[in-house]
Amino acid sequence: MPNTALPGENPRPERAPSELTAEQRDAVAGVFASIDQVARELGERFSAAGHELALVGGPVRDALLGREVHDFDLTTDAVPQRILELVDGWADAVWTVGIDFGTVGLRKNGLQLEITTYRSESYSPKSRKPEVDYGTSLTADLERRDFTVNAMAVRLPERAFVDPFGGLDDLRDRRLRTPGRPEDSFGDDPLRIMRAVRFAAQLGFEPVPEVRTAAREMADRLAIVSAERIRDELTKLMLSPVPRTGIELMVELGAAPYVLPEIPRLRLEIDEHHRHKDVYEHSLTVLDQAIDLERERGMQPDLVLRLAALLHDVGKPKTRAFEPGGRVTFHHHEVVGASMSKNRLSALRFPKDVVADVSKLVALHLRFHGYGKGEWTDSAVRRYARDAGHLLQRLHVLTRADCTTRNRRKAAALSRSYDDIERRIERLSEEEELNSIRPDLDGNEIQRILGIKPGPLVGKAYRFLLELRLENGPMGAEAAEAELRSWAAAQGIELPEA
């Protein structure tokens, strides 16, 4: 079938298995509308110098799917040094962070683009970094890409659509195939197994049987991939519309032990004598419900919340115990789970604030269940809000999402309790600014009243006053000073004369 050309000059004779629809032609043309001048000028510069240039991969795929295009990736037969020469004096800025992998970045008219030399890359059995060799053919470059839906290109400046491996058909059918043998693709870069998982969650694509088989047989190759690359794919998966799909596929393909080994371990055996919820299914349902609540509350996709929802019960396998009468308990699983979450996310090189926030949410996720029917005092509500701190809204969502009971009466009662505590926190917040609760006296005032210098005793007195503040609400400086003096006398601290 003849090649499909976008508006522009005459196409080159590239094979295309399927014609673009009018809607897809408009979508791709729309992408070029935003980069028309830059694409034309850059394409003409390369062409005049005897080099090829093409928009490739993700931008083409996303345009055909009608998704917003943010990144503009191009490929060429020019080597990096030649790329630098061709854009010298034309680009507004140039950076060479990825030049060792054949990539030159540039900015022109507010647009950021990356140009990569045709290449083929592979991993030796024990290497964590790919070996890069430059190529001379666009078709060969597309063949070494991960999946056919990412192996489509548009040549510049003539805007000829290039699809030598049937990516357009696969895009229509929402399936993931590799341009060549999947064993070769995953052997070249094992991270592509995680990319398949991510595309399933992000785009709703279904890996074909041969891709599933190869991924399952080669999942252990993920062990050579750096933690940072795995983290980045996991992050994209978790922020996708349906992360559950990706998590389930990751477990099915045997990739989870090399990414989040705690997740498949949640599938605890359930026998007739020790019945309890399937923790794996429960955790995925909590993740789904947290995402639903995100949308209901107008929140953006929240990595911290979603990771906490997925990991909130990872401490259960280690803490499971069988009690008389067939009862199953998981005492302190939130404490164990918080430690496990911290260790796993740290190993994946997540930022320290993400690690701290996720592990804290896991540690706090059971706190609400002591609320009962609203018996908590205002001081208990203050402590709950203060302990959650900036994570309070996320804790509200996680706590609500953690209700997966099929008992409607029980679920309704829990929902009413959630509503009640949120109302009480809101009321107390308006009255007392719960997010920034402090004692009625600061450190300087404590030192003045007690006649002491900075040191551990100041911290001890501060904590005493904070407990009073949480218990009683605002006291005022005079009452707080009286309480501090009484405390100091009980501690045997000699006070200065007033």
> What mean pLDDT do residues 274-298 have?
87
- Dihedral of alpha carbons 309, 314, 317, 320, sign: negative
Spell out the long-range contacts of 55-59 with Cβ–Cβ below 8 A and sequence spacing 24 or more: 55/31, 55/153, 55/154, 55/156, 56/141, 56/142, 56/152, 56/153, 56/154, 57/145, 57/150, 57/151, 57/152, 57/153, 58/150, 59/31
pLDDT digits (tens, 9 = 90+) for 69-104: 878 899 999 999 999 999 999 999 999 998 988 999
Give the list of residues 6+ apart from residue 120 with CB closer than 8 angstroms, or none. 132, 133, 135, 140, 141, 144, 188
- Please check whether residues 150 and 184 belong to one and the same domain: no
The confidence band for 6, taking pLDDT boundaries of 50, 70 and 90, is very low
Residues 287 and 332 both lie in one domain: yes
- Confidence check: pLDDT of 290 > 70: yes
Looking at the fold, whether 182 and 113 belong to one and the same domain comes out as no
Do 317 and 219 have their domain in common?
no
Q: Does position 262 have pLDDT exceeding 70, yes or no?
A: yes
Domain annotation covers residue 476: yes
pLDDT, residue 15, reads 43
For residue 63, what pLDDT is reported?
Answer: 86
Q: Is residue 425 part of a domain?
A: yes
Q: Is 90 exceeded by the pLDDT of residue 311?
A: yes
How many separate domains does the chain show? Answer: 4
| Lowest mean pLDDT across 90-94, 130-134, 200-204, 314-318 | 130-134
Q: Which amino acid is at 204?
A: G
CATH code, 378: 1.10.3210
pLDDT tens-digit map of 427-466: 877 666 555 577 888 888 889 888 888 888 888 888 888 8
pLDDT of residue 248 exceeding 90:
yes
Confidence of residue 387 (pLDDT cuts 50, 70, 90): confident
pLDDT of the residue at 13: 41
Quick check: 50 pLDDT over 90? yes
Confidence of residue 244 (pLDDT cuts 50, 70, 90): very high
Last residue within a domain, chosen from 203, 230, 259? 259
Q: What is the pLDDT of residue 433?
A: 57
200 and 273 within one domain: no
Q: Is residue 348 included in any domain, yes or no?
A: yes
405 vs 333 pLDDT, higher one: 333
CATH of the domain at 249: 1.10.3090.10
Peptide bond preceding 7 in cis form (omega within 30 of 0)? no
Is 247 found in the same domain as 278? no
Strand extents, DSSP E, 272-376: 321-322, 328-329
* 117 has a pLDDT exceeding 60: yes
**End-of-domain residue from the set 200, 224, 259:** 259
Residue range of the domain that includes 246: 175-259
CA distance linking residue 25 with residue 23, whole number of Å: 5
The answer, yes or no, to whether residue 487 has pLDDT greater than 80, is: yes
**Residue that has been written with the tokens 């295009």 in this structure:** 69
Q: How many CA atoms lie within 13 A of 247 on its CB side?
A: 26
Q: Where are the extended beta strands (E) located within 302-461?
A: 321-322, 328-329
Statement: residue 121 has pLDDT above 60: no
C-alpha 382/C-alpha 431 separation (Å) is 11
498 lies in some domain: no
Residue 496 lies in a domain: no
Please report the pLDDT score of residue 413 as a whole number: 80
- Closest by CA position to 483, among listed 453, 432, 449: 449
Q: In this predicted structure, which of 238-242, 370-374, 441-445, 465-469 has the lowest mean pLDDT?
A: 370-374
E strands along 275-351, which residues? 321-322, 328-329
With bands split at pLDDT 50, 70 and 90, how would you rate the model's confidence at 127?
A: low
Q: What pLDDT is stored for residue 440 in this prediction?
A: 82
Cα gap 185→246, rounded to integer Å: 20
pLDDT value for 334: 93
Q: Is the dihedral of CA 463, 465, 466, 471 positive or negative?
A: positive
Which pLDDT value is given to residue 130? 57
**For residue 180, what pLDDT is reported?**
92
Q: Are residues 312 and 352 in the same domain?
A: yes
pTM of the model: 0.79
Do 6 and 130 fall within a single domain? yes
Distance CA 223, CA 208 (A): 24
Q: Is the pLDDT of residue 237 over 90?
A: yes
Give the model's pLDDT for residue 7. Answer: 40
In a domain, 93, yes or no: yes
Which of the four pLDDT bands, split at 50, 70 and 90, describes residue 267? confident
Work out the pLDDT band at 481, boundaries 50, 70, 90: confident
- The more confidently predicted of residues 113 and 29 is 113
| pLDDT over 90 (residue 219) | yes
Give yes or no for residue 381 having a pLDDT over 60.
yes
**CATH number, domain containing residue 7:** 3.30.460.10
165/189 same-domain check: no
Residue 296 and residue 432 share a domain? yes
pLDDT at 2: 36
Residues 454 and 305 in one domain: no
**Would you say residue 495 lies in a domain?**
no
Residues 6+ apart with CB under 8 A from 460: none
Would you state the pLDDT for residue 321? 86
pLDDT score recorded for residue 69: 80
Query: Do residue 73 and residue 215 come from a single domain?
Result: no
Q: What is the pLDDT of residue 174?
A: 94
Using 50, 70 and 90 to split pLDDT, how confident is the model at 468?
confident
Query: Final residue of a domain: which of 259, 283, 305?
Result: 259
**Greater pLDDT, 274 or 391:** 391
Mean pLDDT, rounded, of the chain: 86
